[in-house]
Amino acid sequence: MQTFDSIDLPKPVRRALSELGYDTPTPIQAKSIPPALRGGDVLGSAQTGTGKSAAFAIPTLSRLISKDQDKSSPGSHKPRALVLSPTRELASQIQESFAKYGRFTGLRQAAIFGGVNQFHQVKALRKGVDIIVATPGRLMDLMQQGFVDLTAIEVLILDEADRMLDMGFIDPIRKIASKVPADRQTLLFSATMPREIERLANSLLANPTRIAVDPVASAAPKIDQSLYFVQRSQKPALMLHLLNHEEVVRAIVFTRTKRGADKLARSLERGQVRCSTIHGNKSQNQRKQALLMFRTGKSSVLVATDVAARGLDVDGITHAFNYDIPVEPEAYVHRIGRTGRAGRTGVAISLCDKSERPLLRAIERLTGDRVQAVDLPADLPEIEPVRSSREHGSNAGVGESRNSMKPGSDKGSRGRSGRSRSESSVNTKSGSGAKRRRKSVKPNKQGGEKTHERQVGKPKAKSGGESQGRKRRSGASATGRPAAGTRNPRKKKVKRKASPKAAR
């Protein structure tokens, strides 16, 4: 069996691997590291959770420390390795991997991605870095501003290339590659190899070593997969039941939509389940905080969309739940690959309603295995569905419009605050400024109406009619504004010549 000691690695890298407890490389690492150390291009195909980050980080660090670079001034310290990744989370994790494996090399890394202010990223680039891990969008932005110089790049790495294809990053990748020296080394890794990725590889790589390990159609063998056929309305109750009754230490729950992730998180929190949420609508700081709480154990459940299906490497995830069946069959393998990583065991449970059965059949055709169905628990509780604020607002509007159409109903004359017009606040203006008065109408003992006033400021009138009459006599209109032709008392008095008409 091959070990890291049998691979010709520099002492600083070997020391870091030894302290991390890494003795035996994974299959993708054992096949990718030797040709990459020789300086050749590599085209690797492997599913997530197989150790691709170390497969390109270890040979890249070994190459960079073998060559000295002028670091006498920040301007002369140009980046020599560039890694492109599809998401912010994956970029952060790759940067952390380089930091772990290169802790004794003295090389500096920087992660560049959107969603945050670029100040600290630009500051790191000005100080000088050896390795840049970036998403294509933010990197293009900084290149256009003149903050990134790629003329000294020796190694170009593309991780999760098929995901970047799905996100529309192929053209930016080509533009970035055109700014990198042609004599570079290129490493491209992808879970799948569609035709577009093949064409991209042919244009960027020169006589690459092709490596295929654990294709995406196969799930990790140590993941126990099961399935519940359930109605859509019962999914929240079943999800809460599984989290409370299964031996869940740390779980990730995948939903199809961002809105669905928020609704499920609120439902679980009502059931006393500590959970965090991560999806595309969250800011980078919110996503970072959610992952931190999940990693540190402050929340045992992470509710996420497919933004976390790739690249999320958190130790100790025991369960992966598919609250919604994914539309793309390949996404199923990436989702359940969050558990059972690095040879560990894991549990993957899916919840499938009637409308999702075609998606389930597509997954089974891809993997070639039938997911075992499990009977629903008999003591499944009923949970009131959690509605979003948008749904609450729309339902309230429908109810109010229906009530206002009923004969004899007084809701049609009520404002948004629920008070009738006679109970609402009235703003009046006088010569000295605006005063607010609230009137409420209450029936008196004789069956009529008696007006009670609560005034703010100096009282002006005892009744609405007297107030209106006094305002008109003082030159104010019924709306509380100065009537046409009257002088605003707040404005400075200006002496004007009297016209003949005014003199008469």
Neighbours of 106 (CB within 10 A): 11
Q: pLDDT category, 95, cuts 50, 70, 90?
A: very high
Q: What is the pLDDT of residues 324-369, one digit of tens each?
A: 999 988 889 888 888 877 667 889 999 999 999 999 999 999 888 8
Classify the C-alpha dihedral 108-114-116-118 as positive or negative: positive
Is residue 360 a part of any domain in this protein? yes
- Whether pTM > 0.75 for this model: the answer is no
Distance CA 319, CA 345 (A): 10
Q: Average per-residue pLDDT in the chain?
A: 79
Would you say 371 and 225 are in contact if contact means Cβ atoms under 8 Å apart? Answer: yes
On whether both 318 and 233 belong to a single domain, the answer is: yes
Helix axes 284-296, 88-101, angle to 10 degrees: 50
Q: pLDDT category, 440, cuts 50, 70, 90?
A: very low
For residues 380 and 376, the model is more confident at 376
Residue that terminates a domain, selected from 328, 343, 374:
374
On whether both 153 and 275 belong to a single domain, the answer is: no
Residue 53's contacts (CB-CB under 8 Å, 6 or more residues apart) are 93, 94, 97, 159, 313
Residue that terminates a domain, selected from 213, 245, 275:
213
Shortest CA distance to 490 belongs to which of 438, 431, 444?
A: 431
Measured between alpha carbons, how far is residue 197 from residues 170, 173, 191, 212 in Å?
9, 12, 11, 14
Picking from 76-80, 179-183, 198-202, 462-466, which range would have the lowest pLDDT averaged per residue? 462-466
Note the maximum CA span of the chain. Answer: 116
Picking from 107-121, 158-172, 450-464, which range would have the lowest pLDDT averaged per residue? 450-464
Q: pLDDT category, 163, cuts 50, 70, 90?
A: confident
Distance CA 83, CA 131 (A): 8
On whether both 15 and 148 belong to a single domain, the answer is: yes
Q: What is the pLDDT of residues 218-232, one digit of tens each?
A: 666 678 999 999 999
Distance CA 309, CA 241 (A): 23
Q: Which domain holds residue 320?
A: 223-374
Instruction: Copy the structure tokens of residue 447.
Output: 């069956």
User: What domain count does the chain have?
Assistant: 2
**Type and span of the H or E element at 97:** helix 88-101
On whether both 234 and 183 belong to a single domain, the answer is: no
Would you say 40 and 209 are in contact if contact means Cβ atoms under 8 Å apart? Answer: yes
For residues 46 and 123, the model is more confident at 123
> For the domain that residue 260 is a member of, what is the CATH number?
3.40.50.300
Residue 317's contacts (CB-CB under 8 Å, 6 or more residues apart) are 250, 251, 252, 338, 339, 341, 346
On whether both 205 and 106 belong to a single domain, the answer is: yes
On whether both 122 and 83 belong to a single domain, the answer is: yes
What DSSP letter does each residue of 467-489 carry, written as one string? Answer: HHHHHHHTTB-TTSSBPTTPPPT
